[in-house]
Structure 1
Amino acid sequence: MSETTTLLYMQVMIWVIVLGLCAVLVMMVRRVRGFYRRIAPLGALAPSGSAIDHLPATTLPTLAGQKVTLGGTRADGGSQLLVFVSGACPVSRKMVPIVDEFARREGLALTYCGDETKDMALPMLATLGLAASRFVNDAAIGRLLGVDRVPFAVLLDEQGRVQARGLVNNLEHLESLLGVQETGYRSLQGFMTAHPQALAG
Structure 2
Amino acid sequence: MTIEFIIASNVLLWAAFLALAALMLGVIRQVGLLHERSAPLGAMMVDKGPDVGERSPVFNAKTFQDDEPLLIGRALTPGRASLLMFTGPSCPICAKLLPIIRSVAAAEGADVVLISDGTAAEHRQFLRDHPLKDERYVVSPEIGMRYQVSKVPYGVLLDADGVIKGKGLCNTREHVESLFETIRLGQPSLQKYLSSNTANAKEVTVGEHVH
TM-score in terms of structure 2 length: 0.67
What corresponds to 2:177 in structure 1?
A: 175
CA distance in 2, matches of 1:65, 1:99: 23
Alignment of 1:87-98 (within 5 A): 87-98=89-100
| AA of the residue aligned to 1:41 | P
Number of equivalences: 161
Q: Deviations over 1:105-129 (max 9, x none)?
A: 1100111110122332211222333
| AA of the residue aligned to 2:43 | A
Identify which of 80, 83, 92 aligns with 2:82: 80
Residue 99 (structure 2) pairs with residue 100 (structure 1): no
| AA of the residue aligned to 1:112 | L
CA distance in 2, matches of 1:174, 1:152: 9
Task: State whether residues 114 and 135 of structure 2, in contact with CA within 8 Å, keep that contact through their aligned partners in structure 1.
Answer: no
Residue 135 (structure 2) pairs with residue 136 (structure 1): no
Compare 60-69 and 121-130 and name the one that shifted more: 121-130
Residue 111 (structure 2) pairs with residue 115 (structure 1): no
Distance 1:138 1:194, change over 3 A: same
Shift, 1:102, TM fit? 0.9
CA distance in 2, matches of 1:107, 1:133: 13
What corresponds to 1:148 in structure 2?
A: 150
Task: State whether residues 62 and 133 of structure 1, in contact with CA within 8 Å, keep that contact through their aligned partners in structure 2.
Answer: no
What corresponds to 1:11 in structure 2?
A: none
CA distance in 2, matches of 1:109, 1:131: 11
Q: Deviations over 1:18-73 (max 9, x none)?
A: xxxxxxxxxxxxxxxxxx9xx88341111243335322442211112111221135
| AA of the residue aligned to 2:191 | Q
CA distance in 2, matches of 1:40, 1:167: 12
Task: State whether residues 60 and 69 of structure 1, in contact with CA within 8 Å, keep that contact through their aligned partners in structure 2.
Answer: yes
| AA of the residue aligned to 2:141 | A
* 3-state SS of paired residue (1:192): helix
What corresponds to 1:70 in structure 2?
A: 72
* 3-state SS of paired residue (1:195): helix
CA distance in 2, matches of 1:101, 1:87: 20
CA distance in 2, matches of 1:47, 1:55: 17
Shift, 1:92, TM fit? 0.7
CA distance in 2, matches of 1:185, 1:73: 21
| AA of the residue aligned to 1:87 | P
Over the aligned positions, Cα root-mean-square deviation in angstroms equals 2.5
CA distance in 1, matches of 2:185, 2:101: 22
CA distance in 1, matches of 2:119, 2:167: 24
Task: State whether residues 112 and 134 of structure 2, in contact with CA within 8 Å, keep that contact through their aligned partners in structure 1.
Answer: no
What corresponds to 1:15 in structure 2?
A: none
Distance 1:192 1:40, change over 3 A: farther
* 3-state SS of paired residue (1:141): helix
* 3-state SS of paired residue (2:80): coil
Task: State whether residues 58 and 71 of structure 1, in contact with CA within 8 Å, keep that contact through their aligned partners in structure 2.
Answer: yes
Task: State whether residues 87 and 128 of structure 1, in contact with CA within 8 Å, keep that contact through their aligned partners in structure 2.
Answer: no
What corresponds to 1:45 in structure 2?
A: 44
CA distance in 2, matches of 1:58, 1:191: 31
Unaligned runs of 5+ in 2: 1-36, 203-211
Unaligned runs of 5+ in 1: 1-35
